[in-house]
Amino acid sequence: MESNFMFILSLICILNFHFLETFANETPEESKLETYIVRVEAPDTQIFTQSEDLKSWYHSFLPTITASSSDNPRMIYSYNNVLKGFAARLSPDEVKEMEKKPGFVSAQPEKVLPLHTTHTPNFLGLNQNMGFWRDSNYGKGVIIGVIDTGIFPDHPSFNDEGMPPPPAKWKGKCEFNVTSCNNKLIGARFFTEGDNTPLDEDGHGTHTASTAAGNFVKGANLFGNANGTAVGMAPLAHLAIYKVCSPFCSESDTLAAMDTAIDDGVDVLSISLGGLTDNLYSDNIVLGAFSAMEKGIFVSCSAGNSGPYNFSVSHEAPWILTVGASTIDRMIRATAVLGNNELFDGESAFQPMDFSSAFLPLVYAGMLNSSDLYAQYCFPESLNKTNVIKGKIVVCESGGIERIAKGQAVKDAGGAAMILVNSERYGNTIASEAHVLPATQLSYADGLKVKAYINSTSNPVAKILFKGTLIGDDRAPVVAAFSSRGPNFASRGILKPDILGPGVNVLAAWPVSLENSTNTKSTFNMISGTSMSCPHLSGIAALLKSSHPDWSPAAIKSAIMTTADVVNLAKQPIEDEKFLPANIFATGSGHVNPSRANDPGLVYNIQPEDYIPYLCGLNYTNRQVGSFLQRIVNCSTESSIPDGQLNYPAFAITFTVLSNSQTYTRTVTNVGEAKSSYSVEIVRPPGVDVRVEPTTLNFSELNQKMMYRVTFNRLASSGNNTVVQGFLKWDSDRYSVRSPIAVILS
């Protein structure tokens, strides 16, 4: 799972802004230069009529000795949309000098950002030639910009059969040769230094792009499993690719890609990478997303793979759709059978037909060398020191190295097969991966039982039975263990994540064949992460944009959130990786239901200017608020609201000893039936009284707005240091518009 990617927030310093003549003849060594993202502000009297004027002003901040140099230019990117500023390679001393320059705001060393199908459309209720897919025309005419590792353009998922030409507004470029782009893949750019191609050499970007908007590909499978027709969420939407990772994803490249995508004319931005921050104004992706939102672009981002820990969610801003990951009802079954006839169901995408069904000796890698802490994780160096695993099934703990690498180590040391057991953190979240030898991955609880059996007998044996693709797990969707959780550290009054989407064992396009097949370009892989759930929602947003071209990004987001499912296929509450009812900070509003989102009844709309009092209410300085708006802001003359007062389709309340009552208003817009009446239904969080006024909303026309007031009171019976949850719903004869309520009782 992608959650194995740890957050690499290593700072890559850089900034060169020297203005002292004493340094005029001294140029820092190239090795001492690092990349900084520099924010600046111009006086209100200074107006830039052309991008070249803006770029020239940016250059005035650079050290004079380097500003005009054509050899290894210091200015890397000049940003026009995402923020007022630029990225440049500089030394720390040059940064100190630049701080004295009028208009300088800040200089941050750039961060390195980690990268956070055949069945998922059916699982989400999308069926060919009927329902929402038909009504939305499969996303026709919408442009999805994917910021990732690039793309493999020759994959059949990106053929343009049935695709119209791109819209007239499209201004992007194809930096492949002319024949690689088409009416599906209308643009491909690269922002990675020294790479000089949008070609995907990782696979991640090809996978996410095809998940969002891949065309129909029949016979998609992995080792013959999960066989079916692969298709993205919005198969008639156009794709514009922006490569920012090779192999790492730099912040300056990501900002440049967002800046370019805004100019190019995308409608949706899909970003499956990012990191943690403790405020909104220092997160450059959040800043870029604000500029995109101002121009009507919907921004969908992965929540991150740092679950199941609290306060681990990324992309906390209310103008971003933050997407967590969940399972689907498909399993690629591989069952471990022990010598005592106990059976444990696991998964593996590699299902060899010729693997013996006879019992084989079973050994736990952690018992091979008690002094080697790495042995239990099946590190190659540990297994190479022993010859006792030859012909045996080896039990390996997850963690330490990639799961596929563990299997390779077992195979190289002569092992016959592998049973991979989860750590407690991952619980019941199981990856179905393309292993290099017969294998199965088991849950944490089942792994304990396997190890107990090994300890109970002097001659432990086991076998693995491969049962192929099974569909119908009514426990789905289950929140993935790795899916990052709230609460929202940067803005406690905004519930995050917003929504769940499929992100476990997602089959989608891959640049190379994992089966070493050389006679086809129809190659697929099954991987997991919030990186996989994000493009599902990006594609669904494109469908909604096609179906409702007049809806704002906030209206689309509201429709997705208020119509989400909160129960699984068995009609029980959605569970987490421990198979316990999932916390609201794991599920957000629930699991996406695309068809219901297309007809939500009411929406909670937010205009770009509504975010000004919200940002001022976060107690940011005028300069910090101005960095979002790219103009000077004076919060003392603006209205200011607590973050819970923003017209968000969810409620996140924190009660402290000083605050036992909070009141907020919300405004809903009628997008359902012109003449309609809604009554409120409240499920109160335990220990909290919730009062809504009025209790009925009567609409007489479309796009009519009505306001209601909600008061939350902490009861004397409430607990301390706990989280409780409930919801309020507005119900009519046809619609049910649900807003979750999360309450932290401090």
Active site residues: 148, 204, 531
Q: Residue by residue, what is the 3-state secondary structure of 520-587?
A: CCCCEEEECCHHHHHHHHHHHHHHHHHHCCCCCHHHHHHHHHHCCECECCCCCECECCCCCECCHHHH
Residue 500 to residue 35: CA distance in whole angstroms? 35
Q: How far is CA 139 from CA 145, 212, 564, in A?
A: 14, 10, 20
Residue 534 to residue 326: CA distance in whole angstroms? 11
Residue 12 to residue 572: CA distance in whole angstroms? 47
Residue 244 to residue 208: CA distance in whole angstroms? 14
Please provide the size of the chain in residues: 746
Which position has the token pair 């919300």? Answer: 666
Query: Residue 204: what residue type?
Result: H
- Angle (nearest 5°) at CA 694 between 688 and 696: 110
Whether the upstream peptide bond of residue 247 has omega within 30° of 0, thus cis, is yes
The tokens describing 355, both together, are 């693997």
Residue 246 to residue 190: CA distance in whole angstroms? 10
Q: How far is CA 237 from CA 35, 176, 535, 538, in A?
A: 35, 20, 13, 11
Residue 315 to residue 587: CA distance in whole angstroms? 15
H-run or E-run covering 97: helix 92-98
Q: How far is CA 694 from CA 143, 568, 679, 689, in A?
A: 41, 32, 9, 16
H-run or E-run covering 623: helix 622-629
